[in-house]
Chains A and B, each alone.
Chain A
Amino acid sequence: MLNMSTQTNSPVNQSLAEALSRSKQEPAWLTAFRTEAVEAAQTLEWPKPEKMNIARWNLDLFGQYKASDKVAEIAALPEAIRELVAESSANLLVQHNSGVVLTQLSEELRSKGVIFTDLETAVREHEELVKPHLFNTINKNENKLTALHAALWSGGVFVYVPKNVEVELPLQALLYSDDAEATFAPHILIVADNHSRVTYVDHVITNFGEGAAASIHQSIVEVVVKPGAQVQFATIHQLGETVSDLTLRRAVIENDGRIEWIVGDLQDGNILSDTLSLLKGNGSTSDAKVISIGSGSQKMSLTTQAVHFGKSSDSNMVTRAVMKEQGTAIINGITKIEKGATKANGVQTEKVLMLSPQARGDANPILLIDEDDVTAGHAASVGQVNPEQIYYLMSRGISRQEAERLIIHGFLTPVVSEIPIEAVRGRLHKLLERKLGS
């Protein structure tokens, strides 16, 4: 186990000290919270996902807080970021390195009481909404990662949708870093009040150029789905090969609420991606779709989890990964049904398509069921491109290369087609082409 934080003058300690001093502008409860987290981080251990030793990933390289200048308009954003902006860009948030530089929200949504702003601002201006929910779906003392994130997070996103309000257009966030020495640790908190509905889409991206130092992106997403509410959360991670991405996503779903996760893990570096739905309410439902492409010598730990407490709760999880070169993916699906969650149904599928004999793909479906009156299912497979399919496509005149391309894209389609913003979907297609091309 790495335990750098007990050493003095380690990057961790410096960063923590800075974070704390900065947090003096924050409400006292949050400063105290961060101080506790620093304390806890000293003794907690890094998370230990199945068959993946993330402690080797230079986890303490999360940089220093670097404020970025606010940006007046979309036109002032760098080209690479600007082209990700949805056509209807009325509802947009942009984080640059450690801080949010642009937020905009349509007058219509504002007048309905929708809040879409950076979490630092939300803490000051909407304390009554933030305080009860921040670090409520996840315990800051769960492990060293959660504690460090609790101490260090900056910028971030806060979404609040009032009762019965349906937000038609997606809210979009672009979280980008162009400085490997800057802390890149947004915390995202979404609260969907009773019977509301919202779609949130983000794109997490680094653009470091040649020769960047190793760095960390760490993020925690919390989604609170109140009774009858529906939240669709879509995210694409496009981080450079020098970046280790540690992202934990948690949703609590109350009675008859629904969460849909759509995750594109398309980083070039190491990945810890863990997406958990806590189905607290009766009739609550969750759906998680994850795609990933592993290449180079990437190490990826991709986990989806559903924990059923509510009666008649329903979960579905799909992960699809394509593995190239020497990439390693450990894919875990965990369906847990607690005692009393009668009539619950949990289904999961993990599929890995191996394109290289040096790549490694491991699919681990895990069902933990403490209630008799339930249904659950799982399917997992690790395989190569089916030669019969290649033959069939080639028999129509399609070249081997194009046949493989069609089959691989087809393999990923169930997730790609679900991305709710055209611009992001288009971007995802380009990204897939790039990662799949040799």
Chain B
Amino acid sequence: MSTQFLINNLKATIEGKEILKGINLEIKGGEIHAIMGPNGTGKSTLASALMGHPKYEVTDGEVFINGEDLLEMEVDERARAGLFLAMQYPSEIAGVTNSDFLRSAINARREEGNEISLIKFIRQMESKMKELDMNPEFAHRYLNEGFSGGEKKRNEILQMLLLDPKLVILDEIDSGLDIDALKIVAAGVNSMRSEDRGFLIITHYQRLLNYITPDFVHVMMQGRIVKSGGPELAERLENEGYDWVKEELGITDETVGQA
């Protein structure tokens, strides 16, 4: 079934400060949406609030994934419903190997008694790691512990490839990546493009969008989507910056919730 992801007037606060001031967005299977915007405008908050990070409180609005009420779900239920967030700062977890973690995540989606066989899992993991040009040794390393910024990002993409999500959010996946790594990550994302999967790419550089062509580009300021367009919007932002958008909309300070 083609994915339907609907965000309707989403508002969220952190420590009492309102950061999201009414986000509206619809993503259909097969579409790639990019959210761009300067730092501090609420982009990452949107990603975290959708995933259900405990620090963010949703105060208003609705989110539906294939007709199911996302905001009613626990974090793990959201993931099992098909949501995947590639995080900007993934946690490091000592003592838990990457492969044990990945296997637990895969098995969490399967019935008890129907767990993935070890052989099949290893085969899948190794082939995806190869695709991402990851050293096989990373399977046995502790989860994200001592990984460089770029290694962590690749590891996020590895999880995306193995978990087969319906709606993928990439939060600043391009930060800390050199150009070769960026190309590999983009190839990973492109290989996942399909009619039944939607993408939401959060970035403040256009660079990633040279390798992953979005269908829609949205600009976020002051906790809202203030402008939407096609891929040409991203190019203009890259060439001219954000000042023209601010001028056009009469915005002087684009940030939200800053002290």
List residues of chain A with CB under 8 Å of any chain B CB.
Answer: 386-389, 391-400, 402-403, 406-407, 409-414
- Min Cβ gap A428→B in Å is 14
- Set of chain B residues within 8 Å of A399, measured between Cβ atoms: 76, 108
A394-B95 in contact (CB<8A): no
A410 touching B105 by the CB < 8 A rule? Answer: no
**Contact, CB under 8 Å: A409 / B75:** no
Residues of B within 8 A of A391 (CB): 51-54, 75, 91
- Asked whether B90 is an interface residue with its Cβ less than 8 Å from the other chain, the reply is yes
**Is the interface on chain B under 10, 10 to 19, 20 to 34, or 35 or more residues?**
20 to 34
The residue in chain B whose Cβ has the minimal distance to the Cβ of A415 is B95
Chain A interface, DSSP helix/strand/loop, else mixed: helix
Chain B residues numbered 99-140 whose CB sits less than 8 Å from any CB in chain A: 100-101, 104-105, 108-109
Give B66-85 as 1s and 0s: 1 = Cβ < 8 Å from A's Cβ atoms: 00000000111011100001
> Do residues A411 and B163 form an inter-chain contact, with CB atoms below 8 A?
no
Show 24 A/B contacts (Cβ-Cβ < 8 Å), sorted by A: A391-B52, A393-B91, A393-B93, A393-B105, A394-B79, A395-B52, A395-B75, A395-B78, A395-B85, A396-B108, A396-B163, A397-B105, A398-B76, A398-B104, A399-B76, A399-B108, A402-B104, A406-B96, A406-B101, A406-B104, A410-B94, A412-B95, A413-B94, A414-B94
- B43-57 vs A: 1/0 string, CB under 8 Å? 000000001111000
- Which of A388, A396, A412 has a CB less than 8 Å from the CB of B105? A396
Which of these, A389, A398, A412, contacts B91 with CB under 8 Å? Answer: A389
Which of A394, A395, A400, A413 gathers most chain B CB within 10 Å? A395
A173 to chain B, nearest CB (A): 28
Q: Are A392 and B163 in contact (CB under 8 A)?
A: no
3 shortest interchain CB distances as A-B pairs: A410-B95, A413-B95, A397-B79
Q: Which chain B residue has the least Cβ–Cβ distance from A414?
A: B95
**B209 interface contact, C-beta 8 A:** no
B41 within 8 Å of A by Cβ? no
Residues of A within 8 A of B87 (CB): 392, 395
Q: How far is the CA of A396 from the CA of B75 in the complex (A)?
A: 8
Closest Cβ of chain A to B154, distance in Å, is 16
Q: A414 contacts which chain B residues (CB < 8 A)?
A: 94-95
Complex partner residue of A397 from B52, B54, B142, B163, CB under 8 angstroms? B163
Q: Is B206 an interface residue, CB under 8 A from the partner?
A: no
Return the chain A residue nearest B159 by Cβ: A396
Are A397 and B109 in contact, CB atoms less than 8 angstroms apart? Answer: yes
Q: Which residue of B lies closest to A399 (CB)?
A: B76
Once bound together, how far apart are the Cα atoms of A397 and B108, in whole Å?
6
B79 to A396, Cβ gap below 8 A? Answer: yes
Q: In the bound complex, what is the Cα–Cα distance between A407 and B104 (angstroms)?
A: 12
Shortest CB distance A347–B (Å)? 17
Q: Which of A396, A398, A413 has the most CB of B within 10 A?
A: A396
Residues of A near B94 (CB, < 8 A) are 410-411, 413-414
Determine whether the beta carbon of A400 is less than 8 Å from that of B76. Answer: yes
B75 in contact with A394 (CB, 8 Å):
yes
Nearest-Cβ distance from residue B89 to partner chain A, whole angstroms: 9
Q: Is the CB of B93 within 8 A of A389?
A: yes
**Whole-angstrom distance between the Cβ of A29 and the nearest chain B Cβ:** 49
Please judge, given known A-B contacts A387-B54, A399-B76, A399-B108, whether A393 and B95 are in contact too, CB under 8 Å: no
- B147 shortest CB reach to chain A, Å: 13
Contacts A387-B54, A392-B87: A402 and B108 contacting too (C-beta < 8 A)? Answer: yes
Q: Which residues of A contact B93 (CB under 8 A)?
A: 389, 392-393, 406-407, 410
Whether A392 touches B95, Cβ cut-off 8 Å, given contacts A387-B54, A397-B76, is: no
Chain B residues with Cβ under 8 A from A393's Cβ? Answer: 91, 93, 101, 104-105
Residues of B within 8 A of A392 (CB): 87, 90-91, 93
In the complex, what distance in Å separates the CA atom of A339 from the CA atom of B54? 52
How near does chain B come to A335, taking the closest CB pair, in angstroms?
23
Residue of chain A at shortest CB distance from B53: A391
Q: Which residues of A contact B52 (CB under 8 A)?
A: 391, 395
Closest B residue, CB atoms, query A400: B76
**Which residues on the B side are within 8 Å of A389 (C-beta)?**
91, 93
**Whole-angstrom distance between the Cβ of B237 and the nearest chain A Cβ:** 29
Bound together, the chains give a CA A395 to CA B54 distance in angstroms of 11
A386→B163 CA distance, assembly (Å): 24
Decide if B79 touches A409 in the complex (CB within 8 Å): no
Question: Could you tell me the distance between the alpha carbons of A388 and B52 in the complex, rounded to whole angstroms?
Answer: 12
Asked if A410 meets B108 with Cβ closer than 8 Å, knowing A391-B75, A396-B79, the reply is no
Which residues from chain A contact B100 at a C-beta distance below 8 Å? Answer: 406
Measured CA separation A177–B78 after assembly (Å)? 51
Q: Is the CB–CB distance between A411 and B85 below 8 Å?
A: no
Shortest Cβ distance from A159 into chain B, in angstroms?
Answer: 32
